[in-house]
Homo-oligomer: A and B are copies of this chain.
Amino acid sequence: MAVTETTTAETEGDLKVALKALASDKRLKILDWLKDVKTNFPPQEHGNQVTEGACNLFIVEKLGVSQPTGSRHLKVLVDAGLVVATRRKGWTYYRRNEDALTAVAEQMRGI
């Protein structure tokens, strides 16, 4: 099948890393869009929008940047553990890591 899921940081990761990943307009937008993939992105014939997330190309297009730039923003989020990448067939899907995001929000209460 060749399905690969990528998550670098743990749920209770380094707060600084998460904050650096979040301190960007475009990455905040991506996270917001991923809250509701179905309404924020065109339909995908290939991957399940709900379980797997949004296709890389759609995110890049909506961001209004070049494909490599968009991919790098997504990589920052993945490396921080805030987003999960699912690679299948030719496409890569991205979805929110809700556990990590709520963990960060929880840590922020003790800031």
What's the interface size class on A, roughly? 10 to 19
Tell whether, in the assembled complex, residue A19 and residue B15 are in contact, meaning their CB atoms are under 8 Å apart.
no
A67 within 8 A of B: no
A51 within 8 A of B: no
Copies in the complex: 2
In A1-49, which residues have CB < 8 Å from any B CB?
Answer: 15-16, 19-20, 22-25, 28, 31
A positions within 8 Å CB-CB of B: 15-16, 19-20, 22-25, 28, 31, 101-102, 104-105, 108-109, 111
19 A–B contacts, CB within 8 A, in A order: A15-B28, A16-B23, A16-B24, A16-B25, A16-B28, A19-B19, A19-B22, A20-B23, A22-B23, A22-B111, A23-B23, A28-B111, A102-B109, A104-B111, A105-B105, A105-B108, A105-B109, A105-B111, A108-B108
